[in-house]
Structure 1
């Protein structure tokens, strides 16, 4: 596939950087930046007089998000300000009893640990399962579960190692045992396909500022309709109810879908720009994007090893992702990041290793540019 059109969307950043850090905060494509400008101009010129246009746009973006996740209905999607918020919807809304436990990976990003650790005053135990090297083994997660396990919370891709978890196997395990299965999908949505109808995922959340190439503060959550009533709704407000526009009528009948979590004003600017990025990705094809990302990361690993680097990430076919964790033969990770930034290359450091995360618009030349910048 010719990736020229997609790369053209990032002319602003590629003219300055070899940007290989999409696991952090990605640059906005031209279409998203234009959408932000369009919204700001409309708001400046019209204020509330243009609100119907922008509310309609929110619903259009909701449809795109449902297409991304293969959700049964757009109503199963709600907009959230960040992944942390989505995790807390489950952590704080779940019907816990003292003595219950939640199982997660010990190396999870803090946003997928602190909301669960915050449940300690309610008598909920957090069981943190360590990885074995770069790999988080299914049998270790299974062994941590017992009759009091109520939730298994996992990232689709681990942020530091790049390990891609087997969501199908984990979901099936949870489904058979009545365990609520939650997925932090921020490190895979936009880079790899995810089908919530094919996978027994009960809920997921992801902000849009990484692989989805949107702005910070505009993300999505999915909650399986059958699980909705077991959760105590949080953040309820005027738009959580079935008659949201009847401001003088108080009728606390919640929407029978994920929309009940959208209590207040929307981040119209963020959702608008996020929608532009999402439409661009869907048009390119998520399956093709995944193939391209794996092609680039395979090339990166091959060339890095030739130069004496150690590839920490698992590169087994079903475990590799868009994140590659590397160990430099000489320098510590922070020194590599510093030297690269001075030479116009953006990578990052996590867990004392160099983290490289190219997207589909990147090129092999940019991979070479990174390796050259990190050569003593």
Structure 2
């Protein structure tokens, strides 16, 4: 098996369980950025053509990660929120149109739709409680429903949805399907074609192990031209680089959503991070992550006074374990764990732990040992 632990030479004693927020980079990403910076210092942009080759490689890796039909379906964006805004303010809404979301969404996938109220768009928030959250969402559809916008994995509870079922339901009803993929992409296999989605987006700084400031936007080719553009510049043109051309048109590819100069520094880091995920393989990444989530789940359930707020069944979770302890305020509990170098965060009903595939087993066991001490007072 590929030896990947050397890629994460973390500070001794650190127990990093916060990948659902901001992840550490692998060593190769740091080295890629260092080389890029040194080249800038010594040579400026002399090697820009090589930088563009790396950007193409990044698009290819992202297309494979999402199983997109083509790199032409991939746009490099600042973050998830920007991509969601491209969809929300690109579609031609009619007064009375409905957007279905859940009542557990991260603000990025809620506020952007609420901001459409001035156009007469109604946002319907659906509960994911119960044994059939997908059924709840699909049952909320009406003849006025235009789009379903849902997170693949809910940021607080860690609930993972059956995206294939939702995609089929949307297609049968003529409803657009938009997936906030930030809590699944890089943690588990992801497949835009199997999910039959129209849009998917994610930041690179969580499970993809990349930097902040660079993400991916998948836009289905047959709907791309239906999104009105609100950002214009040299990079989004079909003939980008032909600076003397007087006529212009947006790129036919998803590059039409990239108005100006690329985040080349971020591209070097993210491309290196994705190369690691590809070497390990996303199926193996998912298996290793599930082992760590399962051990945390079992250990926490055994603690006196513990309440688990995340799904117990493997098919309903990705990399998030959310819990609370009787007698502890969640913020105080997070701070107590931080004193032990257990890096986690308070979210939703409890404290959220989020390991990744490379997290050493000893980190999991040490975390459970600390929690045992804390639970016993």
Query: Normalising by the residue count of structure 1, what TM-score does the alignment of the two structures yield?
Result: 0.96
User: What are structure 2's unaligned runs of at least 5 residues?
Assistant: none
The corresponding residue for 1:75 is 72
Q: What's the counterpart of residue 50 of structure 2?
A: 53
- Superposition CA RMSD, Å: 1.4
> Displacement, 1:136?
6.7
Deviation at 1:316, TM superposition (A): 2.0
Report what 1:297 is aligned to: 293
- 1:37-186 to 2 correspondences below 5 Å: 37-132=34-129, 137-186=133-182
CA deviation digits over 1:282-307, x for unaligned, max 9? 11011111111111111111111112
Residue 251 (structure 2) pairs with residue 255 (structure 1) = yes
Partner of 1:235: 231
Spell out, residue by residue over 1:111-140, the C-alpha distance to the aligned partner (whole angstroms, 9 max, x if none): 00111111011111111112327x771121
State which of 269, 285, 297 in structure 1 corresponds to 2:265: 269
1:214 is matched with which residue: 178, 194, 210? 210
State whether residues 27 and 213 of structure 1, in contact with CA within 8 Å, keep that contact through their aligned partners in structure 2.
Answer: yes
Contact 2:322 2:349 in 1 (8 A): no
| Displaced runs of 4 or more, over 3 A | none
Aligned partners of 2:330, 2:344: CA distance in 1, in Å?
A: 10
Cα distance change on mapping 1:107 and 1:74 into 2, 3 Å = same
CA deviation vs aligned residue, 1:155-187 (integer Å, no higher than 9, x gap): 010000000011001000101111110000000
Equivalent residue number for residue 310 of structure 2: 313
SS of residue paired to 1:336: helix
In terms of mean alpha carbon deviation, does 28-37 or 39-48 score higher? 39-48
Post-superposition offset of 1:47: 2.0
Q: Deviations over 1:174-232 (max 9, x none)?
A: 01111110000000111110111222011111000000000101111100101112111
Would the aligned equivalents of 1:205 and 1:219 in 2 still touch at CA under 8 Å? yes
8 Å CA contact retained: 2:309, 2:349: no
1:103–1:141 contact (8 Å) kept in structure 2 = yes
- For residues 194 and 129 of structure 2, the distance between their equivalents in structure 1, rounded to whole angstroms, comes to 28
Could you tell me how far apart the structure 2 residues matched to 1:59 and 1:276 are? Answer: 13
Task: Give the deviation of 1:233 after TM superposition.
Answer: 2.3
Identify which of 9, 12, 25 aligns with 2:7.
9
**Normalised TM-score (structure 2):** 0.96
Shift in Å, 1:250: 2.6
Aligned residue pair count = 372
- The question of whether the paired residues in 2 share the 8 Å contact of 1:334 and 1:352 is answered with no
Moved more, 298-307 or 107-116: 298-307
The correspondence for 1:334, drawn from 331, 334, 338, is 331
1-structure distance, mates of 2:362, 2:62: 32
